[in-house]
Each structure stands twice: as structure tokens, then as C-alpha cells.
């Protein structure tokens, strides 16, 4: 079973419509399957026209709150990519080998 965590790496702000208004969030989704760890980064942009409810002052934001702004589909997609990485680490894909032609061996 894989345990996934999402962490905020950085936030970009503008000074409008409010001071330190968050317009872009960079995040990382990490998965741990007990043996291997894999991660992938992502980012989400925000538009003040889509703002719902009151604006939380920047200094009062929590990581959990900001993670809640990221579309669930983006996190689910990132988790699927991380799971694919973990699956490849646990069971490396078989790669074909470039084998010398049998009639050209010296």
C-alpha cells in the first residue's frame, strides 16, 4: 500500500486584489510504498475572478488550506504518476538488448 503526501513547495503572490494574494502554488506529491519513494511536482494557478468566500490573509494561511485549493483531479493524476514510478522501481520494465547479428560475429 502506498502512502501519499502533498506538500507546498512555494507560493507566488501579487499585491492585488489584496496584499500577498496567492496566484500560483508549486507543490510536490510523494508516495512511499514501504520500500521505495517517488515524487512529482506540480503547480496550480489562481485567478481572483474565481475567488469564493473571504480572502484569508497570507500570514494566516495553512498548508492544509492551500492544498485544499489544488483541484482534486490534479492531485489524483500526480498520485497515479507517482504510483507508476513506484511500480517501475519495484518491478523494473524489461528492456530489449541490442544483440549483435549472428552472421557478423568475429
Q: What is the pLDDT of residues 61-92, one digit of tens each?
A: 999 999 999 999 999 999 999 999 999 999 98
**In angstroms, what CA-CA distances link 13 with 36, 73, 104?**
35, 23, 64
Q: Which of 46, 51, 49 is nearest to 22 (CA)?
A: 46
Does the pLDDT of residue 106 top 70, yes or no? no
List beta partners, residue 22.
13
Residue 105 phi/psi, 5° resolution? -75, 140
pTM above 0.75, yes or no: yes
Share of the chain above pLDDT 70, in %: 98
Average pLDDT of every residue of the chain: 93
HSE of 60, CA atoms in CB hemisphere, 13 A = 5
Amino acid at each position: 500500500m502506498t502512502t501519499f503526501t502533498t506538500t507546498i513547495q512555494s507560493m507566488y503572490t501579487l499585491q492585488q486584489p489584496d496584499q500577498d494574494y496567492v496566484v500560483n502554488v508549486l507543490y510536490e506529491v510523494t508516495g512511499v510504498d514501504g520500500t521505495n519513494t517517488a515524487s512529482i511536482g506540480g503547480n496550480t494557478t489562481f485567478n481572483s475572478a474565481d475567488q469564493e468566500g473571504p480572502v484569508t490573509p497570507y500570514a494566516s494561511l495553512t498548508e492544509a488550506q492551500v492544498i485544499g485549493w489544488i483541484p482534486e483531479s490534479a492531485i489524483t493524476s500526480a498520485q497515479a504518476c507517482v504510483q507508476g514510478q513506484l511500480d517501475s522501481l519495484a518491478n523494473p520494465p524489461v528492456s530489449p538488448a541490442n544483440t549483435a547479428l549472428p552472421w557478423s560475429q568475429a
